[in-house]
Amino acid sequence: MGKKVFLMGLLFLLLAAPVFAEDTIYVSNAGDKTISIVSTDSDKVVAKLSVGTKGSWPSNQWNQKYFAFNTKKGVDILSVTGNVVSSLDLKSKKNWQDFTPDGKLLVTASRDVDISYFIDMDESSETFGQVIAKVEWPKKFGICDMTISPDGKYAYIPGIFSDKFGVLDIQNKKILKIIDIPRINKDTAVKPFMTTVTWDGKYVFMENAEGKGKGTESVIDVSDPANPKEVVRFVPKESLAAAKAALEPKGITVKEMMGLEPQSNEITLDNKYAFVIMRASKSVGVVDIEKLEMIKEIPLTPGGKPRTGDLSPDGTKLYVSVPEKNVVDVIDVATLTKVKTIKGFKKPQGVIGVSLSAANALEELNALKKKQAEDFANLEGELQELEETLKGVKATAEAAKAEGKGVCGPTALLALAMLPLGAYRLYRRRK
C-alpha cells in the first residue's frame, strides 16, 4: 500500500509540477518505520514509503538510485522507491555506510565488530548487493561513521573508543594510516564519532563527544591522505584556556565553538560553509571553511534535540530532523536563517537528499501497472474457476431434483460438498 500511495503521489506531482521531479528529501521515521518524502519545491510531505526499518543513518551521497540503512543486524539497501534489494547480516547493530562516487561500491563502518565491509553495487555483477571483501580494524578501535573522499580512493573513519582517526585505502582494501586525536584533559576521552569530508577533499570535519555533553569539533587536513593532521579544534568558550594549553603545543589551533554537543555536519556544495548540528543547544553552528572560523549559530525548533540533516540536491536548503518534536527544520543556505518547520513526521531520524528523475518514476509506474495486470489476470482465473464450480453445483442440484429426493439424495449431498471444495481451491490459488 505504501508503495502505491507513493507512486500515485509521485505521478500527480510529475504531471502537475514537473520541476519537483528533480529535488526531494527522504526522511526516515523511527516511530513507524517509514520514509516521508518531502518536495523541496513546496517543503511539504508529499508521500510516504513503508520500509520496515528505522533507518537511523541512511546514506546516498554518491548514489542517487539506492540508499543504505543501518539495521539491528547490519545494513539494508533500498531503491529510491522503497524496494529492499539486499539485506545484509553484518553481525553489528551499529553500522554507518557510504557509496563510492561511481556508485559501484558501498563501504561500511560496522562498530560492533570493528570491520569495514565492501559491498558490490555494480548492477551488472553477479555479486550485486553482496559483501565481496572486508578490512578488520584494531580491536576496540570503535569505528564510528565514515565519509568517502570525492575521488573515491579513501574513507575517513573516527575511533570513538580509542581517540583515533583512521584512513582506509578503498582501492587496495587496507588501512593506510591511523593517528591519535589528543585530549584536552588527560582524564577525559575525546570520543570522535562522526565525520564529513569537504567537496574538494581537503578537510574532514569531525564531531567529538568530549566535555560531558558539550562536545568539540575537529578539523583534520587530509590533503595528503597518508599523513592526516588535525589543524583546528572548536571548543566551548569555558574550555578555551585549557584547550589552548593542551593542543596548541601540538600544532592544533583552538577556536571558540558556537553551540553545544555537535552531532553531525554537512558541507555546502560550493564548499563555503560547514553546518554543524548542535544537539544540546538546539542549533546549527556555521563554519566559514576558508577561514576555519565559526561565524554564526542558527536556532532550531525549541524543546527538541536535532539529530542529522542533509542539503537539498540543488544545495539551496539544509533540512534538519528534530525527533522529539516530530518536525524537520529548513535552513536557507543563502541567508543562513531558518525559514520553515515541516510537520507530520514520526520521530524523524535520517535525512537524505534524493534527485528523483522522471525516468525512475515512470519505470516504477510501469512495473506497478504490470503487477496490477498480473493480479487482474489471476483474479479472472479465480472467477472463471468459481464459475465452473457453481455450474457444477447447479448441475448436480438439478440432478438431485430429478431424482426427487431433495437435499437428502446422494447427488444433492455431492453438490453441497463441492462448495467447500471450490472455496478451498480458491484459497490455494490466493496463497
Of the listed ranges 107-116, 171-180, 335-344, 348-357, the least confidently predicted one is 348-357
Mean pLDDT, to the nearest integer, of 170-193? Answer: 97
Of the listed ranges 95-99, 321-325, 427-431, the least confidently predicted one is 427-431
Grid coordinates representing 277 are: 548540528
Grid coordinates representing 111 are: 562498530
Question: Contact at 8 Å (CB) between 99 and 105?
Answer: yes
Q: For residues 91 and 220, give the distance between their C-alpha atoms in angstroms, rounded to a whole number.
A: 31
Q: For residues 252 and 232, give the distance between their C-alpha atoms in angstroms, rounded to a whole number.
A: 5
Cβ partners under 8 Å of residue 387, min gap 6: none
pLDDT at 70: 87
Query: What's the pLDDT band for 7 if we cut at 50, 70, 90?
Result: very low
Residue 428 has pLDDT above 50, yes or no: no
Q: From the centroid of its chain, how far is CA 377?
A: 37
Phi/psi at 187 (5° precision) = -95, 0
Question: Contact at 8 Å (CB) between 326 and 345?
Answer: yes
* Nearest to 413, CA basis, from 428, 393, 429: 393
Torsion, Cα of 260, 262, 268, 273 (10° steps): 40
DSSP 151-177: TSSEEEEEETTTTEEEEEETTTTEEEE
CA dihedral sign of residues 233, 238, 239, 244 = positive
Residue 3 has pLDDT above 50, yes or no: no
Question: Contact at 8 Å (CB) between 194 and 206?
Answer: yes
Cβ partners under 8 Å of residue 184, min gap 6: 190, 210, 211, 216, 235, 239, 242, 243, 246, 247
Q: For residues 382 and 312, give the distance between their C-alpha atoms in angstroms, rounded to a whole number.
A: 48
Write down the pTM of the prediction.
0.79
Residues 59-107 have pLDDT tens digits of 656 666 888 888 888 999 988 777 889 999 999 999 999 999 998 999 9
Residue 390 has pLDDT above 90, yes or no: no
Grid coordinates representing 369 are: 501497472
